[in-house]
Amino acid sequence: IIQICEGDSESPLDLVKKRLKDFLSSKDLRTKQGAIAEFFIHLYLNNNNYKPEFIFYNLEETSIKKGFDGFYSKENETYIVESKSGSCTSKKISHSVKINEAYQDIVDNLSGKSKKGKNNPWKNAYYHANLIDVGSAKSIRSKIAELRENFDRGIFCDVKDFNIIPCSTIFLDDIWTNQWSDDFIRNNSVLEKISGKNIDVIVVTKKNIKHFEDYLNV
Q: Please give the average pLDDT of every successive group of 10 residues along the chain, which has 218 residues.
A: 94 96 93 96 97 84 70 97 96 96 97 84 94 96 98 96 98 94 94 96 97 95
Q: Quick one: pLDDT at residue 119?
A: 85
Q: Quick one: pLDDT at residue 11?
A: 94
Q: Quick one: pLDDT at residue 67?
A: 82
Q: Quick one: pLDDT at residue 142?
A: 98
Q: Quick one: pLDDT at residue 60?
A: 56
**52 bridge partner residues:** 72
The stretches of the chain forming alpha helices (DSSP H) are 2-6, 13-25, 29-47, 95-111, 121-129, 138-152, 179-186, 210-217
For 31, other C-beta atoms within 10 Å of its C-beta total: 13
Q: Quick one: pLDDT at residue 127?
A: 93
Q: Quick one: pLDDT at residue 114?
A: 86
**10 bridge partner residues:** none
Q: State how far the Cα of 56 lies from the Cα of 164, in Å rounded to an integer.
A: 18
Q: Quick one: pLDDT at residue 61?
A: 54
Query: Which whole-number Å values give the CA distances from 110 to 5, 40, 45, 63, 150, in the listed order?
Result: 25, 24, 22, 22, 11
Q: Quick one: pLDDT at residue 166?
A: 98
The answer to whether the beta carbons of residues 65 and 58 sit under 8 Å apart is yes
Q: Quick one: pLDDT at residue 58?
A: 74
Q: Quick one: pLDDT at residue 62?
A: 53
What is the pTM assigned to this prediction? 0.94
